[in-house]
Amino acid sequence: MICLVGFMGAGKSTALVELAAHGLHSVDADSLIEERAGRPIAQIFEEDGEAAFRALENEIVAGALADPSIDVLALGGGAVESEAIREELAVDGHTVVWLEISADAAWRRVRNSKRPLARDESAFRALFERRQLLYDSVADAILPGVARRIWDRAYEAVHGLEELPEGTRMFWAESSGGEYPVYVGRELLGSSLFEQGSAAMPGSGRSFCFTDGAVGPLYSDRLGDIAGTFTVPPGETAKTMAQFDHSLREMAQAGVTRSDRLIALGGGVVGDLGGFVAHSYQRGIPVVQVPTTLVAQVDSAYGGKTGVDLPEGKNYVGAFHLPSAVISDVDVLSTLPGAELTAGMAEVVKTALLAGGGLWDEVAALEPGEILTRADLIFACARYKCAVVAADERDTGLRAQLNLGHTVGHAIESVTSYERYRHGEAIALGLLAALRLSGADGLREQVREWNLRQGLPVELDPAVDPAAVVEAVQFDKKKTSRGVGFVLLNVPGEPLIDRPVEDAALLASVEELLR
């Protein structure tokens, strides 16, 4: 049974209509309550009070969830506040879908309705905030509630969750350039996701694997039927125009067609290069991102940024090419070398700093290695990244916040020829520089201690010239005619984008890393 949850105005009634068109027996719990009571819900609230309504709701929802004739059940917005109902939703056979909506959109949609809990805007918004964590706690899948005819596109992805390992979660990423399902869970490699016709495998053509020499031997045999494999050397040094050209020619020689798809199996380098190759080959073929590093699972696999490096700067050549799906199998992180897993934590803390709130609180308290057991945090980081991309896919404003720590971090990578530091290690140092430039001394110290606890660097190699790092910053790919704009942050959850920084202050922040 598909169980729809979400706040007032999230589109549950519309979803029932769309799912009924798929031949499913779709039922509204609120309608069942009104039928039993013989009165509208507003009247029940008025005459009997909310407590009496909730007791009746518990009884009727429990019965409906146990009814094998119902294919889809839409629950009232407050049903998830009942612990008994949350426990019923967790029973095998129920796929819980949270139809997500913003507080602003929800208020616009219901403020003139007769809903008893939509009469006071302040109380409405407080109720909205309280319920968000409850919706998240029960959801197997998260869809944009007010997206037009979303079920025509997302139904197969939701329905397919029944066949995936327990604990798998999916959310629907969307932006101006397209949309795609994102799966996070365990034992996903080798699952039904890679079967022909799966919601994660677009088109009717063949699958080709794009991977590197380290990851391919470990996992490429768990991607379903593969018509061919293209392998690049591991590491950042593979992200070159020469390798890009070589990979395109390999694909042409292998007979890849526009109806085929590329499965990019690997870390950020494979995702960036494979995505750029997919974008360019025969003017574009689908790419499915299967990230195998922590950096890629929480950040780089999402949003469609692809490209290669030039000697002059990181990611100087590339294109936007959204994936057709992202499949993050958290189990593969256990085979990462310890240093690679540690480096990935820099992107985790960066995302938490940007998001603030509960995500920051949880990440700040993480112990070394704990991320391997926290698929929920990887899921949360991925959702945050995709939410930012949805607001600014082409990186013209808001998306720039994701560059926190990266301006200096990329410069450090560049001046050390991408050989001295892993990407995450350089970003860890870049975050410290960014927080010093922000004047957030207390937060910088907290992040410095966090880095030390996780095993991330807090000091720059003495062989690195700070002046060379400052010079390399001037080649940052986000530079405009006004200069390089920095992302600064004084308080978690409140990033400041496109801020000018004096060279002297920048130099001082880098020199501090030597001490």
- Three-class SS of residue 183? strand
**pLDDT score recorded for residue 481:** 60
pLDDT band at 484 (very low <50, low <70, confident <90, very high): confident
What is the C-alpha to C-alpha distance for residues 32 and 476, in angstroms, rounded to an integer? 59
Mean of the pLDDT values across residues 434-459?
A: 97
Q: Is the pLDDT confidence value at 418 over 90?
A: no
192-215 pLDDT, tens digit each: 999 999 999 998 899 999 999 999
Do residues 266 and 277 touch, judged by C-beta distance below 8 A?
A: no
CB proximity list for 323: less than 8 A, separation 6 or greater? 180, 264, 275, 286, 287, 288, 289, 301, 302, 304
A 10 A CB-CB count for 442 gives 9
Residue 94 CA, chain-centre distance (Å), reads 24
Which range among 18-27, 58-67, 306-315, 390-399 shows the weakest confidence by mean pLDDT? 390-399
Q: Provide the Cα torsion 243, 248, 250, 256; round to 10°.
A: 150
CB proximity list for 301: less than 8 A, separation 6 or greater? 268, 271, 289, 291, 323, 326, 328, 382
284-319 pLDDT, tens digit each: 999 999 999 999 999 999 999 999 998 888 889 999
332-362 pLDDT, tens digit each: 999 999 999 999 999 999 999 999 999 999 9
72-97 pLDDT, tens digit each: 999 999 999 999 999 999 988 899 99
Q: Which helix (H) or strand (E) holds 66?
A: none
List strand residue ranges (DSSP E) for 300-417, in order. 305-310, 313-320, 325-329
What is the C-alpha to C-alpha distance for residues 216 and 87, in angstroms, rounded to an integer? 41
Q: What domains lie within the chain, and their CATH numbers? A: 2-163 (3.40.50.300), 174-336 (3.40.50.1970), 398-512 (1.20.1090.10)
Residue 173 CA, chain-centre distance (Å), reads 8
What is the C-alpha to C-alpha distance for residues 134 and 131, in angstroms, rounded to an integer? 5
What is the C-alpha to C-alpha distance for residues 292 and 331, in angstroms, rounded to an integer? 9
CB proximity list for 181: less than 8 A, separation 6 or greater? 154, 157, 170, 171, 172, 173, 199, 200, 325, 326
| pTM for this entry | 0.93
- Three-class SS of residue 99? strand
pLDDT band at 265 (very low <50, low <70, confident <90, very high): very high
Pair of tokens at residue 393: 């896919």
What is the C-alpha to C-alpha distance for residues 445 and 325, in angstroms, rounded to an integer? 38
Q: Is the pLDDT confidence value at 394 over 90?
A: no
CB proximity list for 384: less than 8 A, separation 6 or greater? 351, 354, 355, 359
